Structure 1
Amino acid sequence: MEDILRPIYQERASSKNTLGILSIEKREGWNYQEETFDNILLVIAKEVEKNLLVKHYAYQDKKAALYIVDEEQLKEWLLLGTNRKILNWLSDGKIVFDRNDYVHRLKNELRESSANERNLKMAIEFSKIIKSYTDGKAFFHNGHYMDAYHHISRSLYHLACLAIIEKGFQPEQTMWDQVKQLNPEIYKLYEELLTSNENIEKRLELLFLASEFLIHSHTESGVSHFLNVLRKKDYWSIDDLINHPEVKYYAIDLETLLEYLIHQNYVRIVQAETKGIHIYHRFYKIFS
């Protein structure tokens, strides 16, 4: 099979912009349920016209897909965890071209991510946890139980991702199998959400209570990155925080996160006078 596809990737290997090429071949026990292709070629390149270029091929009644991804786009996906199949391809793929050991070094970096990168990933997940939980609880109190169910499910999903990252691993496509081993408590709560015989109102009521406890137990790790940013200045405006280069990855959920941290006594409000009467600027600083 590799012989048939070799002309495709050899053409890419001859380009000076190509950093590495991996081949991922479908086999027994293939976990990537969304993949319908028998072989995938992943080409990592720099200075390409598009962040991602995809081509499909047919051979011997089989199908192959070629993905050419820009190096910066790849790094963003790996940092944010927004394209999990790429992580699996890097882990499982066979290296067929590697310029200056680029792919080998990239694989090592994935295994040994820095503490700051890990804290950033946890901050991204934690901000999503708080946003989903807060929205879900609001829907629950207003009697919108199906919407509440959706949001508490999302909150548990991100809580599971956070628990995996805390242990030094990356969430995989079979993430709940990971969680079952690494954090059975979260797994059991998610299982309860899916299989409980309680009516939906009672089920959600119990889940919100249990989730609140679990979220609290993961708060320290989840907010470490953000608190480190806050320590860099005496106090911050919301605009400064949203546009901070280290916070931009979870800025979309920052206002909800801030309110949670104020309530939990991690952050306190500082007021400053404006030109108006009885109206104040609202700034934020780490609670001390």
Structure 2
Amino acid sequence: MEDILRPIYQERASQPNTIGVLIIEKKQKVFPTTDTFEAVLMIIVKEAEQPVFIKHYAYRDKKASMYTVTEAQLQEWLLLGSNRKIFDWLYNGKVMFDRNEYIANMRHELREFPFYGRKIKIGIEFSRLIRRYIDGKAFFDQLQYLDAYNHVVHSLHHLARLAVIENGFHPEVTVWQQVKQIEPEIYKLYEELVCSSETLEKRLELLFLASEFLIRSRTQIGSAHLLDVLHKKDHWSFNEMMEHKELIPYSVDLGILVEYLIEQKLIETVLMETKGQGLFHRYYRVTEKLS
């Protein structure tokens, strides 16, 4: 497909807005990296009206997909892990055009995985883990075992991704293969959940106990980024946290993470009077012993 797509990417490479072009060809018949297409052409641009623009092409019995992606969108995917295929594309795609070594530098940064970038990703993954664990536990307590199971599977997946990031790697599409090598204990938990002959209730009960220990043991590293940000002020309203540029990626999971850290005595509440009798504004700060 490379020869067929050449006129398209050569035209794009000649435009000053284009900073990189990659081709990713399908390696295995059923592997999901290219979404069943024979090839994906990825055009990275400085800016565009749409952060992602996708076109599909057909040539005889083959098909290809072209992604035009802004630099900002690419950085968001890498930070949030919301498009896991992107790591494979950047690692393994064939570079057809690379303005000022943009792709080469990005590949180097991905391999190095700077500690600060890791810290943010750990925080985001930990907040998602807490959300799934708490929601799953609530369903379990209501005897809604299938809904609880769904949340536990997701929480284990976030725990697995967290373990991979902790060890200095980016979670890939085949995250469980990574975890099997890096954190076999988490892999075993996942196996027990999906393969055990015990009743679903018993499996969930055991998983919640084991997960609680693993989550608690990661609370310090999982909350480090958030606590670092909160250290910058004496106290915060929740809206101030939501609007802080470093905390925006936590999105809807920020609230439940803050409440969890209050339970763990890492964050404390500060009450301030309002005009209403007995009604207080609720603010948050890092627990004094941690300050």
Tell me whether 126-135 or 27-36 shows the greater mean CA deviation. Answer: 27-36
Question: What CA distance in whole angstroms lies between the structure 1 residues aligned with 2:106 and 2:236?
Answer: 36
What aligned pairs does 1:88-167 form with structure 2 within 5 A after superposition? Answer: 88-167=88-167
Give the structure 2 partner of residue 186 of structure 1.
186
Question: What CA distance in whole angstroms lies between the structure 1 residues aligned with 2:127 and 2:27?
Answer: 37
Describe the superposition over 1:170-209 as per-residue Cα deviations: whole angstroms up to 9, x where unpaired.
1100110001011111111111110111111111111101
Describe the superposition over 1:219-242 as per-residue Cα deviations: whole angstroms up to 9, x where unpaired.
111100001011111111111111
What aligned pairs does 1:190-209 form with structure 2 within 5 A after superposition? Answer: 190-209=190-209
Residue 258 of structure 1: how far off its partner (Å): 1.2
Residue 32 of structure 1: how far off its partner (Å): 2.6
Give the structure 2 partner of residue 271 of structure 1.
271
Question: What CA distance in whole angstroms lies between the structure 2 residues aligned with 1:127 and 1:28?
Answer: 35
Question: What CA distance in whole angstroms lies between the structure 1 residues aligned with 2:102 and 2:179?
Answer: 31
Question: What CA distance in whole angstroms lies between the structure 2 residues aligned with 1:253 and 1:35?
Answer: 29
Letter in 2 for 1:281: H
Residue 245 of structure 1: how far off its partner (Å): 1.1
Does the alignment pair 1:286 with 2:291? no
Give the structure 1 partner of residue 259 of structure 2.
259
Aligned partners of 2:33 and 2:88 also within 8 Å: no
Describe the superposition over 1:112-166 as per-residue Cα deviations: whole angstroms up to 9, x where unpaired.
2332211111111100111111111111101111111111111111111111111
Q: TM-score, normalization: structure 1?
A: 0.96
Q: Any idea what SS the aligned residue of 1:246 has?
A: coil
Question: What CA distance in whole angstroms lies between the structure 1 residues aligned with 2:148 and 2:142?
Answer: 9
Give the structure 1 partner of residue 170 of structure 2.
170
Give the structure 1 partner of residue 72 of structure 2.
72
Question: What CA distance in whole angstroms lies between the structure 2 residues aligned with 1:201 and 1:143?
Answer: 8
Aligned partners of 2:164 and 2:182 also within 8 Å: yes
Describe the superposition over 1:74-121 as per-residue Cα deviations: whole angstroms up to 9, x where unpaired.
111111110111111011001011111111111112222332211111
Question: What CA distance in whole angstroms lies between the structure 1 residues aligned with 2:234 and 2:2?
Answer: 59
Give the structure 1 partner of residue 39 of structure 2.
39
Question: What CA distance in whole angstroms lies between the structure 1 residues aligned with 2:105 and 2:30?
Answer: 25
Gaps of 5+ in 2: none
Question: What CA distance in whole angstroms lies between the structure 2 residues aligned with 1:33 and 1:39?
Answer: 10
Q: Classify 1:187/1:263 alpha carbon distance in 2 versus 1 (closer, same or farther; 3 Å).
A: same
Q: Classify 1:207/1:143 alpha carbon distance in 2 versus 1 (closer, same or farther; 3 Å).
A: same
Question: What CA distance in whole angstroms lies between the structure 2 residues aligned with 1:24 and 1:58?
Answer: 16
Residue 18 of structure 1: how far off its partner (Å): 0.6
Q: TM-score, normalization: structure 2?
A: 0.95
Does the alignment pair 1:10 with 2:10? yes
Gaps of 5+ in 1: none
Q: Any idea what SS the aligned residue of 1:277 has?
A: coil
Question: What CA distance in whole angstroms lies between the structure 2 residues aligned with 1:27 and 1:253?
Answer: 37
Aligned partners of 1:270 and 1:283 also within 8 Å: yes
Aligned partners of 1:31 and 1:174 also within 8 Å: no
Question: What CA distance in whole angstroms lies between the structure 1 residues aligned with 2:11 and 2:84?
Answer: 27
Question: What CA distance in whole angstroms lies between the structure 1 residues aligned with 2:34 and 2:212?
Answer: 33
Q: Any idea what SS the aligned residue of 1:283 has?
A: strand
Q: Classify 1:29/1:64 alpha carbon distance in 2 versus 1 (closer, same or farther; 3 Å).
A: closer
Letter in 1 for 2:109: E
What aligned pairs does 1:224-239 form with structure 2 within 5 A after superposition? Answer: 224-239=224-239
Question: What CA distance in whole angstroms lies between the structure 1 residues aligned with 2:120 and 2:13?
Answer: 34
Aligned partners of 1:269 and 1:283 also within 8 Å: yes
Question: What CA distance in whole angstroms lies between the structure 2 residues aligned with 1:47 and 1:243?
Answer: 24
Residue 34 of structure 1: how far off its partner (Å): 6.3
Give the structure 2 partner of residue 19 of structure 1.
19
